[in-house]
Amino acid sequence: MKYKVDVYEKIMASRVVAILRKIDVGKAKEIARALLEGGICAMEVTMDTPGALEAIQIIKSDLGDQAAVGAGTVLDPETGRLALLSGAEFLVAPNLRADVIRLGNRYGRLVIPGCSTPSEVENAYEAGADIVKLFPAADLGPGYIKSIKGPLGHITVMATGGVGIENAEAFFAAGADILGVGGSLVNREAIANGDFQVLTDYAAGLVAKARK
């Protein structure tokens, strides 16, 4: 349980989880350092990234206890177990799979399944999810999160999907506890140009919104 609490605290330190999808694994270390410098202490490498397991290992080895490193787009327990064996400290899924939640709980790892309805959110929580990802957040809208959090305020919710600095404040105001941010944060053009300061500045802007 303590392990889960430690990871949860890292996520809540910035209230932002960086989503590293299909990144260049050769630049994983620089990307992660830039995000950490901007104040983000939790990042997930999606499992549809070529070399995802290697990226998890690289980032965890480099950052150590400074950040929580997890695996995203975990569609089944087999994929989740591979990620855990590679050092993933938490698992994130786009959907609700009770067997993935059981896997995480079996090995004491935090799990964040994806949900879009009140029933899914409650079912995920009852199955043992630590945080519930409301996805796709931008399509559902901040008002939807506010409605969900009314009766289900005891559940920690992470808004993911189309979330960025331009709408972060609205989602936090609506009751989102955490934001999962991908493309707008992990800027492909900046990474290709080696301009990692762009990532740091964007990360700092998001964290500032979270702390308002």
Of the candidates 10, 44, 60, 209, the residue annotated as catalytic is 44
Question: Dihedral of CA 67/68/69/73: which sign?
Answer: negative
The single residue of 10, 60, 133, 149 carrying the catalytic annotation is 133
| Radius of gyration over every alpha carbon of the chain, rounded to an integer in angstroms | 16
CA gap 203, 184 in Å, rounded: 10
Q: Residue 30 catalytic? A: no
Q: Can 44 be counted among the known catalytic residues?
A: yes
- Name the residues annotated as catalytic: 44, 133
